[in-house]
Amino acid sequence: MIVDCYTHTWETPEQLGRCLPPDGGTSAGASQCLDPRLTGVNRHLASAKPADATFVLGFKSQYLDAEIPNERVASYVSQHPECLIGFAGVDPSRPSEAIAELRRAHDELGMKGVAVAPAAQDFHPSNSQAMLVYAEAADLQLPVLFHTGVCLSSAIKLEYARPVLLDEVARELPGLKMIIAHLGCPWVDETLLLLAKHENVYAEISWLPDQPWHAYQALLGANQLGVTDKLLFGSGFPQTTVSHCIEELYELAHLVQGTTLPNIPRERLRGIVERDALSLLGITMPVSRAAIPATSSPGGDY
């Protein structure tokens, strides 16, 4: 099974508020990603091939005046519930509102997870108010994805982006399933230690496939620490596609050929691509999807 654990969609760039990079998203790549015509469900499904399931993340930040409404995400994934999975965006800087929205997203909208972004929401990841929100997610058995690391908006507060700040969360709520986005880049070593230390902490690897040297160093470190089984696949749509990311990952097996540098075993890379994140995170899919045999990755062709 291939599960894409990190994708977004939006209707207008205005929904992203001050999340945009310093150039306002005017570069060629950013402009293409911000075009709402390229983030519709048909484009999403085409870009998701050959993934069996895809997480679609909501987002809300009072601090950045940004919101991809959960109703929008729920409506979006309802068009293809056999393969699209909604994660509710909540803002723990307003804990009462966040808890109420979390419950509504679970009970009424059918969301299967939660997405938060401390650096983009202006709160310390383990402050007492945020912990109440995480505790509610744990009670509802909803995994929480933490946007950490990479973000080029000048408004982002990097002091709240470091993965090590999630250590207290994992200690205090050991039953909470946690996903660290982008392997916590650039603080990969902190993320790897958290993966080794805590049973229910995982990390997805979007952004890395297009940074081969960073990806090599990060995944080599994960392999040497014995935590590649805690790594989940993620593409980062609409910036890229699943098939492109898979190709780039498998290319890492050849990156250091002809040198004395250690190689990353191909089976470790395939394990990341084909990891059953749904089972690890306790997410159930409709019977129609469960009855379909898992798709093999195209790795054998690369």
Per-residue pLDDT, 13: 74
How many domains is the chain partitioned into structurally? 1
pLDDT at 301 over 50: no
Give the integer Cα–Cα distance in Å for 170 and 146.
12
Tell me the mean pLDDT in the region 45-51.
95
Per-residue pLDDT, 84: 97
- Grade residue 290 by pLDDT with cuts at 50, 70 and 90: very low
CB 76 within 8 A of CB 84: yes
Weakest-pLDDT range from 9-18, 81-90, 163-172, 284-293:
284-293
CB 137 within 8 A of CB 178: no
pLDDT tens-digit readout, 75-103: 999 999 999 999 999 999 999 999 999 99
pLDDT at 30 over 60: no
Q: Which CA distances in Å does 102 have to 74, 96, 213, 280? A: 13, 10, 38, 21
Weakest-pLDDT range from 31-35, 168-172, 221-225:
31-35
Q: Which CA distances in Å does 282 have to 78, 92, 175, 184, 222? A: 20, 23, 11, 22, 23
Tell me the mean pLDDT in the region 57-85.
95
84-89/113-116 β-pairing: parallel
Per-residue pLDDT, 29: 43
Question: Which single residue is written with the structure tokens 């780039």?
Answer: 248
Give the integer Cα–Cα distance in Å for 147 and 132.
18
Per-residue pLDDT, 68: 92
Per-residue pLDDT, 18: 75
CATH of the domain at 270: 3.20.20.140
Per-residue pLDDT, 26: 43
Domain that holds residue 88: 3-301
pLDDT tens-digit readout, 106-155: 999 999 999 999 999 999 999 999 999 999 999 999 999 999 976 667 88
Per-residue pLDDT, 36: 57
pLDDT tens-digit readout, 200-235: 999 999 999 999 999 999 999 999 999 999 999 999
- Grade residue 38 by pLDDT with cuts at 50, 70 and 90: low
Q: What is the mean pLDDT of the chain?
A: 89
Weakest-pLDDT range from 36-45, 120-129, 263-272, 286-295:
286-295
Give the integer Cα–Cα distance in Å for 16 and 264.
37
